[in-house]
């Protein structure tokens, strides 16, 4: 029994000594693992924050892209119509024969004569309109019942 007590005491001491060393090593490993887990949690939180920012920026860019596409869809027919008008003008310029300076001067004098005659016609029409207005007033005064 005494040997058994000594034996169990020695075994217990060795076990505590071994447990102590294992506990110290385990604590160091656990501390290191805790430190790495904390670093990974911080990195994950940073990645989540950056991903949220990127998703928000992507949403804004998609909205801008939709607006730009709608504007393009709206403007394209107008641009096509203007291109057609420009092509028509270009074709009409190609069909106009070249004129020398004498023909150009004659054309200008004809245009000036037409403008002068149009001005005279406008003056005559304005005079006729005044004359008709005076006739209308006279007729209204003449046909109106006289006060008694």
Q: How confident is the model at residue 19 (pLDDT cuts 50, 70, 90)?
A: low
Q: Where are the alpha helices (DSSP H) in the chain?
A: 2-95, 101-143
Distance CA 12, CA 6 (A): 10
Mean pLDDT of 22-41: 84
| pLDDT tens readout for residues 43-84 | 999 999 999 999 998 888 898 889 988 998 888 888 888 888
Higher pLDDT, residue 78 or 26: 78
Tokens 């385990």: give the residue.
Answer: 26
If you search the block for the tokens 């008694």, which residue do you land on?
148
pLDDT given for residue 31 in this prediction: 86
Kindly report whether the global pTM for this prediction surpasses the value 0.85. Answer: no
Q: Where is average pLDDT lowest: 23-27, 47-51, 75-79, 120-124? A: 23-27
pLDDT, residue 36, reads 94
Interval 27-48 mean pLDDT: 91
What is the domain partition of the chain in residue ranges?
A: 106-142
Q: What is the pLDDT of residue 21?
A: 62
Top pLDDT among 2 and 114 is at 114
Answer whether residue 131 shows pLDDT above 90. Answer: no
What's the token pair of residue 108?
Answer: 């200008």
96: pLDDT strictly greater than 70:
no
């Amino acid at each position: 029994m005494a040997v058994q007590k000594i034996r169990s005491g020695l075994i217990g001491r060795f076990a505590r000594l071994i447990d102590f060393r294992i506990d110290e090593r385990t604590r160091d490993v656990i501390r290191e693992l805790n430190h790495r887990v904390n670093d990974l949690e911080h990195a994950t939180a940073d990645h989540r924050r950056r991903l949220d920012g990127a998703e928000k920026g992507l949403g804004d860019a998609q909205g801008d892209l939709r607006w730009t596409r709608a504007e393009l869809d709206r403007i394209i027919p107008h641009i096509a119509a203007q291109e057609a008008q420009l092509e028509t003008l270009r074709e009409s310029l190609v069909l106009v024969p070249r004129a020398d300076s004498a023909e150009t001067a004659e054309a200008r004098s004809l245009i000036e004569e037409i403008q002068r005659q149009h001005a005279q016609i406008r003056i005559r029409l304005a005079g006729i309109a005044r004359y008709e207005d005076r006739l209308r007033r006279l007729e209204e005064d003449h046909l109106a019942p006289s006060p008694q």
